[in-house]
Amino acid sequence: MSNPDDPATWLAKAENDLLNIRNNLAAERVPWDTVCFHAQQAAEKMLKAFLASRGQRLSRTHDLIALLAEAVAAGGPLEMLESDCRLLTPYAVLLRYPGAGEEPSESDGREAVAAAQRVYDQLRVSIDSP
């Protein structure tokens, strides 16, 4: 069983979400709801990896704004990720069930992927340089 206090565990999970995105983008029919969900998940897991790297207790939440606030409080210069976190947060739950919200378009999906990649890149640097 993986250790939830180990940043590497969260990092590996985030990278699997990004792999899921790449695999879906290569498909003949791209499931944009799935792409957006995995984008949110990648960002969430990267924020949790950062918090774990700082010895912080991890919150059981999908709210990226709340996790980002915790990361900033833990000393992360990460305020620039707020708009990306706001964009991605609704995809944690909104897309899981039919009728819960409007299905994302290709444009929405590509925007979510770009946001997740920015979150990943910035947090990866921050995790590597405590």
- Calculate ∠ Cα 41-71-53, nearest 5°: 80
Q: How far apart are CA 60 and CA 48, in angstroms?
A: 10
pLDDT per residue as tens, the chain (130 positions): 477 789 999 999 999 999 999 999 999 999 999 999 999 999 999 999 999 999 998 989 999 999 999 999 998 788 999 999 999 999 988 767 777 678 899 999 999 999 999 999 999 998 876 5
Total domains present in the chain: 1
At residue 7, the pLDDT reads 92
CATH at residue 100: 1.20.120.330
Task: Please provide the DSSP assignment of 81-115 as one string.
Answer: GHHHHHHHGGGGTTTSSTTSSPPP-HHHHHHHHHH
At residue 76, the pLDDT reads 78
Q: How far apart are CA 67 and CA 73, in angstroms?
A: 10
Tokens representing 94? 């909104």
Which residue range(s) make up the domain with 105? 7-128
Length of the chain, in residues? 130
Q: What is the pTM of this model?
A: 0.93
